[in-house]
Structure 1
Amino acid sequence: MTFSGEFLAFILLALVAISGGVLLLNLTKVVHMVVALVFTFISIAGIYILLSAEFLAVVQVLIYSGAISIIMLFGIMLTKHNDEEEATAKGGKWRKAFLLLGVLAFGAVFYAGIYNLDFGSTPVALHENNAEQIGISLFSDYVIPFELMSVLLLVAFVGAIVLSKKDEEKEGEKE
């Protein structure tokens, strides 16, 4: 069995995506969770590049790694949270053992399911000018949903600011 550079790049990117997801679930500080999420998003963009979907990779980096992560950081800054870690060591070793057993069982079932899977091989030409085709479709067929989504995001952002300002005003009245 020979390993190509594309296969090794996929394995590396998949491992980074999985580790980012695991770190996201296991870290305690919210800012560290967002950084782990950014690593996951960027590795998924790399996988898109391996699939010759360059437009999706750029959108993944711009929208998810950039905008969504920044919005999450703004949400963290605008809300109150305690950085104190609560010590919950109740059943810690057993919980980790069962978690490891569950992950290994899932991996074994997943591997068994795809080991001899055959999709058949049909020659497929990669899309040429896929970014141009997506742009034409987006701004001709889907222009109304595109604009409605931008208005919805704007309303959500303004609503978040208004809600955070109301909390600050209530605190000012209490003092």
Structure 2
Amino acid sequence: MTISGEFLAFISLALVAVIGGVLLLNLTKVVHMVVGLVFTFIAIAGIYILLSAEFLAVVQILIYSGAITIIMLFGIMLTRHNDEESDSKGGGWKKVLLFLGVLAFGAAFYIGIYNLDFGTEPAALHEKNTEQLGVALYSDFVIPFELMSVLLLVALVGAIVLSRNDGEKEGDKE
């Protein structure tokens, strides 16, 4: 097996993504967790670039690394939360069991994909990626696309209804 630059780039981006996810789960301050999440999002965008999916990489950086992270930071800063660390019993055993679980998952994943064969069907992967994505989205997947827009609209209306104060409701006009 020859080690290419693409392989090294993938390994380094995958390590950054996994380390960002682990930091997200293990840090105690919420803003630090968001920084770990940003590292994961940017590493995933780098993996998209390695897969010649430049449009998805740009969307990943613009939407997730930018907008979603800013929305999460605003949500964190506008809500009350306790940054005090709670004492948990059995923390050492939990970490050992978690590590063993991660190793078992990694081993099962490796065994599952080791001899996986996708066939040798030729595909034009590097030609007009954005055009192919648009054609597929608006021809084959137009109904799920529209249903997702309705779902997002319902979520927005629900968030507005839930965020109203009790004094702003129509029945409380006295």
Fold-level similarity (TM above 0.5) = yes
Deviation digits for residues 48-75 of structure 1, max 9, x if unmatched?
Answer: 1111111111111111111111111111
The answer to whether the 8 A contact 1:48-1:57 is kept is yes
Quote the Cα distance in structure 1 between the aligned partners of 2:156 and 2:59. 19
Shift of 1:20: 1.1
Give the Cα–Cα distance (whole angstroms) in 1 for the partners of residues 112 and 136 of structure 2.
36
Structure 2 SS opposite 1:62: helix
What secondary structure does 1:81 align onto?
coil
Q: Is the 8 A contact 1:29 1:83 kept in 2?
A: yes
Which residue is equivalent to 2:43? Answer: 43
Structure 1: gaps spanning 5 or more residues: 170-175
TM-score by length of 1: 0.79
Distance 2:18 2:56 in 1: 20
TM (normalized to structure 2)?
A: 0.79
Q: 1:97: which partner in 2?
A: 96
Identity %: 70
Shift in alpha-carbon separation, 1:149–1:133, aligned structure 2, 3 A: farther
Residues in 2 aligned to 1:153 and 1:116: alpha-carbon distance in whole angstroms? 42
Q: Distance in 2 between matches of 1:74 and 1:153?
A: 18
Deviation at 1:138, TM superposition (A): 5.5
Q: Which runs of 4+ in 1 moved over 3 A?
A: 132-160
Q: Over aligned residues, Cα RMSD in angstroms?
A: 2.6
Q: Summarize deviations over 1:43-100 as a string: whole Å, max 9, x none.
A: 1111111111111111111111111111111110111011111122x11221111111
Report the Cα offset of residue 4 of structure 1: 1.0
Gaps of 5+ in 2: 169-174
- In 1: Cα distance, 2:48 partner to 2:110 partner: 22
Distance change >3 Å, CA 104–CA 137, structure 1 → 2: closer
The 10-residue stretch of structure 1 (150-159 or 66-75) with the greater mean CA deviation from structure 2:
150-159
